Structures are given as structure tokens and as C-alpha cells.
Amino acid sequence: DMKQRLAESFETALNLSDGLARIAYMDEDKPDLVYSAKFACSECGYSLAELEPRIFSFNNPFGACPRCDGLGVNQFIDPVRVVHHPESSLASGAIRGWDRRNAYYFQLLQSLAAHYGFDLDTPFQALDEEIRQVLLFGSGKEEIETTFFNDKGKARTKLAPFEGIIPNMERRYRETESNAVREELAKYLSHQSCPDCGGARLRTEARNVFVADLSLPDVSRMAIGRAHEFFSHLTLPGKRGQIAAKIVKEVQDRLKFLVNVGLDYLSLERSADTLSGGEAQRIRLASQIGAGLVGVMYVLDEPSIGLHQRDNERLIETLTYLRDLGNTVIVVEHDEDAIRSADYVLDIGPGAGVHGGEIVAQGTPQQVFDNPNSLTGQYLSGKKEISIPAQRTTNNPERQISIRGATGNNLKGIDVDIPQGLMTCVTGVSGSGKSTLINDTLYRNAALMINGAGEDPAPCTEISGLEQCDKIVDIDQSPIGRTPRSNPATYTGLFTPIRDLFAGTQEARSRGYTPGRFSFNVKGGRCEACQGDGVIKVEMHFLPDIYVPCDICKGKRYNRETLDVKYKGKSIYEVLSMTVEDAVEFFSAVPAIKR
């Protein structure tokens, strides 16, 4: 009875005191005991809110780090990018936009040079460190007398602290309403890990909750394969283990699906926009496996892209598992292993474009291999093969690009020499670091050195040999245009001589048409109902926008008067509708276009 009464009294005390109660012993030698019914320290009073799932999400304001808003990084104007040519002087363009060609900013620098006694024709890297700091970050509270001259030569003097080049750029980037100015200043931005969360993206409370001595950021930094191993061996004692059992099992299963589609090398915190198309597709595939649906038709477009042959077998096993559940799996694929593993093969050809569109062969893989009309079957059966060059171009060790100490992502401080003037293939298993080495390390560093702009490169100690390159071009699989106006003719510059050709016809000259008349990007010859797009954009508010053919021009982009002008019996719309093969023959007498 005494224990029951004490328990009830203590519970009442907690309710009356907002969760904090003290037990005092009759024996004065024993210290009082303080208990809290909340997530709080009874000594210092520091308390935490009740743990909820939203606290562990950086997409939720309750869980996101307040300093970086859950991004894990902060943007800043990078001095290395600002001073693009440190070997040059300020007057000759060490800092783009602050040289003699920009009168306003150069007058600021002239007044600053007069105040501190330095020469604007001295190379930037030869200036005193104190002067460089004032130039980049400002004079603080020290006022500088600045003289400005207007177009008529009239002088105006102003006494004020020098803002600094970097604070000036930061202010303009924040305040500008011009997209062009914002895009220009964005070239000087770099990213650094958030100093508060260290890139973990979560607030302090979420980062200090541990399971098996690991926090959520610790687990997120694991590769998927390592995380699967961790949760497979995770055991929690007593009642906590019973509560967590179903959750842990669910996590294990989902991680196993990702491992089975060859994604064990990806870290759980990997940003979605850095995934390749094949990786993103395999993640969606893994989520479908976890759903366990039956009677579904799955359509996959080349899921083996970017996948090493070592991992291909696991991907195929996953696809056959989906089939065995009672689903229909249709795969558009060029991979030999996928074709050989299929139950049924459709070979479409025989060529591309107008030369294709027919069923060349169909049936089991062996039936396709035995079909003499199937080019795919001929190569897979070994009747045809790709010839290997008998002689290779020799490597000149004096002409090479050297990368030293590359440590991005999985790279272990590697040193690489890439010969110039040759075709080099970089290969390896999925996730070994190929893209990190070439795209993130070599290309981004080269873009920064040669072009003076680009994304933040992966770290390395040194890159040499780039002085032999005039420019660097990254050719990836991203779309060449973001709107219906973009097409291969405009992207390659081919459209300009075609417009010139139409403007030179007798009909066009008699009407006074210029090459601009045959552009769908400017007023005059284009259809104004769709502004030369050929389609009308319909905004769907909460859904992606859709495009429908223009009712006026019927998708031809031009108005009737422009379409009346013909070259060899074809209008500008009919020429743009040609295949490249047809256009080569049509323009055979015009070398500038045929090339």
C-alpha cells in the first residue's frame, strides 16, 4: 500500500509541476533526487521536444538544419573564381567586370589605389596580401575618397568605405531582379559544407539520437550494401527489439531490393540529381519489387545503361523475379545478356528511320539467332563480328593530362595519366569511381581553369597538361533544348545557311524578305498564334504542362506568306521536316549546307 501511495503521489507531483518532481529523503545526508517525465536534463533544464518522424526529415522545417534549410551546403562567392587571372593586373582583367572596360568599377579601383598607394598595372598575385584582402572584402570602416567622372568629364567626389568586390557581388546577387545578372554572378558561386550541421542537413536534436551507437547521418553516409549488412545484424534488447522488429525487417527488405539491382555502391544520402538515368530507373524498379504487385505490365527502357557486366546478372535475376510473380516484363534493350535471357525476342529493323519499322525476326532467342534476316541475330550467333584494329596509335608520353591525388567520392587518392590525341576508354565495375574521376574531377577542374566557370570540382592535388587544350566540351545525354523551338538544325547552326538560301530565292527577294523572315524565333514570318512553336502550351497547374498543335498553322510554325516561298519546290517547313539523309541529297548542290 505504501508503494502504491508513493507512486500515486509522485505521479500527481509530476502532473502539477509540468513533468518535473523532486524526492527529498528524511535523512539529510542523502541528496535530493530530481526526475523529469520529459526529454529533459534534470540538472541543467535542457529539454527536447517529443521525438516524431518529422524531426528526422530534412525536408520538414521541424527537422531541417535552420542554418542551411536542410540542404547541407551554403553558397558563397568564391575568391578563386572571382580572381580568374591572378597573373594579370587589375587594369588588364584579373577580375572580370572590374577592369578598364567598366568605367564605374574601375574608377572605384583607381581611388582605392590612390588611397593605399598600389599600382593597378601590377599583377594581382604580386600585390600585398593586405591590399588583396581590401580589394576582395572591403575597407571595413575606413572611408575612401572616390572620384567619379560622368560622360561630360564632370567630377563628383564621394567619401565612403569601399564595399569590397565579393560583398558587392553577394549584394547584387541577392537584390537583382534580372535573370541575366543572376546567371552571370552564379558563375562565381561555390558550395561549402554547412558549418552547423556539417552537411548532415538535420538539426542538432535529430543528429544526437543514436541506435546501436550510430546517428541517422552516420547511417545515411553508408553505402547501400554496408547499410544492408548493418540492419541485417541489428539487434535491440527487450521491448525495444520487439517494437522495432517489423520496422527493421522492412528496412532490410528495401535495402536488399536495391542491392539486387546492382546499386550496393550508392550511398543512402546520394543526391537524386547526381544519379545516372540507369541508376534512377533501377531505383524505381526496386520500389516496384517491394510493392509485390501481380498482374502488372512493366516497361523498362535500357535498364542496363551504365551497368557493368558483373552487376548485369543480378539485374536480370530481378527482372525474372518480377516475371515469376505473375507480371509481364517488356524490356527495350541492346545488351547481349538481356537478349539471351529473354523468353521472347522482337527484332525491329532492318535499318533506322524510314528504313526501319518492320518486324525482322521474332521468337525465342535461338530462333532469332537462326534467322538470316536479323542483323542482331547474326552478331549474337557469331556469324558477324566487329573487327578489331590490327594496329593502334602509339602513345606520346610527353603529351598527356596528369591527375594527381584524386579523392572524390570513392577515389583513394589515385594518380592517373591520360594520353592526348588518342581515344581513351575509362571502364570498371559500377560505382568504382569512373564518373567521379572524369566528369567530377577532370572535366569540372578543366572547365574552371579554361572557362573560368562551372560546378564545384571533386578534390585532387594537381592537374597538369591542360595548357595544351584550347577548350573543353562535355557531351552528355541531356536534352539539347528545353522548348519546342530547339531542333538539330538550330543546335548545329545549320539553320542559318538554310534561311539565307530561302532569302536568296527570286520570290523572297521580290517580296523583300530577309533571312529573319524564315526564323520561327522572331516576328515577321512566324505564326503569331503560337509564336513559332507550332504548338500551344496548356498549363495544367498541379500537373506537368502539355503541348497541343496550333490550330492556325497546324504545327508548321510559319504564316501562309512565308510558306509560299519555295526552294526547289519545297517550303521552309517541308525542308525542316526532312530527315538528314533526304536533306543531304536535297542540298547536294549547296556545299555549306551539305557539309
Query: Which pLDDT tens digit goes with each residue over 52-93?
Result: 899 999 999 999 999 999 999 888 999 988 988 888 999 988
Question: What would the mean pLDDT of 490-509 be, rounded to a whole number?
Answer: 89
Question: pLDDT confidence of 10, banded at 50, 70, 90?
Answer: confident
| pLDDT over 70 (residue 194) | yes
Does residue 420 fall inside a structural domain? yes
Q: CA-CA-CA-CA torsion for 287, 293, 295, 296, nearest 10 degrees? A: -20
pLDDT the model gives residue 514: 92
Q: Are residues 503 and 412 in the same domain?
A: no
Q: Are residues 89 and 157 in the same domain?
A: yes
pLDDT the model gives residue 364: 95
The predicted model scores a pTM of 0.66
Least confident of 427-431, 510-514, 546-550: 427-431
Q: What CATH number should be reported for the domain holding residue 136?
A: 1.10.8.280
Q: Going by DSSP bridges, is the β-strand pair 47-48/39-40 parallel, antiparallel, or unpaired?
A: antiparallel
Rounded Cα–Cα distance for residues 380 and 505 (Å) = 52
| pLDDT over 90 (residue 231) | yes
pLDDT in tens, 295-345: 999 998 888 877 777 778 888 888 898 899 899 999 999 989 999 999 999
27 versus 484: the higher-pLDDT residue is 27
Q: Are residues 235 and 327 in the same domain?
A: yes
Question: pLDDT confidence of 359, banded at 50, 70, 90?
Answer: very high
Q: What CATH number should be reported for the domain holding residue 274?
A: 3.40.50.300
Q: Are residues 96 and 43 in the same domain?
A: no
Question: What would the mean pLDDT of 364-392 be, rounded to a whole number?
Answer: 90
Question: What would the mean pLDDT of 177-186 be, rounded to a whole number?
Answer: 87
Mean pLDDT of the chain: 87
Residue 331 CA from chain centroid, whole number = 26
The residues, any chain, with a CB within 8 Å of residue 24's CB and separated by 6 or more, are: 32
By C-alpha distance, which of 501, 533, 519, 593 is closest to 562? Answer: 519
Q: Is 274 helix (H, G, I), strand (E, B) or coil?
A: helix
409 versus 412: the higher-pLDDT residue is 412
Does residue 526 fall inside a structural domain? yes
Phi, psi (rounded to 5 degrees) for 30? -90, 135
pLDDT the model gives residue 96: 86
Does residue 383 fall inside a structural domain? no
pLDDT the model gives residue 567: 92
pLDDT the model gives residue 415: 95
pLDDT the model gives residue 500: 92
CB 559 within 8 A of CB 551: no
Question: What would the mean pLDDT of 352-358 be, rounded to a whole number?
Answer: 85
pLDDT the model gives residue 70: 92
Q: Are residues 81 and 186 in the same domain?
A: yes
pLDDT in tens, 285-307: 888 877 778 999 999 888 887 77
Total number of domains constituting the chain? 5
Question: Which stretch of DSSP H or E encloses residue 34?
Answer: strand 33-36
In order of 11, 326, 339, 421, 517, the CA distances from 297 in angstroms are 59, 10, 18, 48, 49
| pLDDT over 90 (residue 21) | no
CB 299 within 8 A of CB 328: no
CB 558 within 8 A of CB 522: no
Does residue 422 fall inside a structural domain? yes
Question: pLDDT confidence of 483, banded at 50, 70, 90?
Answer: low
Percentage of the chain exceeding pLDDT 90: 39
Q: Are residues 588 and 544 in the same domain?
A: yes
| pLDDT over 90 (residue 521) | no
DSSP assignment string, 282-293: HHHHHHHHHHT-
Does residue 206 fall inside a structural domain? no
The residues, any chain, with a CB within 8 Å of residue 425's CB and separated by 6 or more, are: none
CB 402 within 8 A of CB 417: yes
Question: pLDDT confidence of 410, banded at 50, 70, 90?
Answer: confident
Q: Are residues 39 and 88 in the same domain?
A: no
Q: Are residues 509 and 589 in the same domain?
A: yes
Question: Which range of residues forms the domain containing residue 432?
Answer: 400-468
pLDDT in tens, 237-247: 888 888 889 99
Does residue 374 fall inside a structural domain? no
Does residue 259 fall inside a structural domain? yes
Q: Are residues 336 and 246 in the same domain?
A: yes
By C-alpha distance, which of 380, 417, 410 is closest to 396? Answer: 417
Q: What CATH number should be reported for the domain holding residue 582?
A: 1.20.1580.10
pLDDT the model gives residue 472: 87
Q: Are residues 493 and 585 in the same domain?
A: yes
Phi, psi (rounded to 5 degrees) for 178? -95, 125
Question: What would the mean pLDDT of 207-221 be, rounded to a whole number?
Answer: 92
pLDDT the model gives residue 14: 80
Q: Are residues 306 and 336 in the same domain?
A: yes
Rounded Cα–Cα distance for residues 65 and 199 (Å) = 9
Does residue 395 fall inside a structural domain? no
Rounded Cα–Cα distance for residues 340 and 334 (Å) = 11
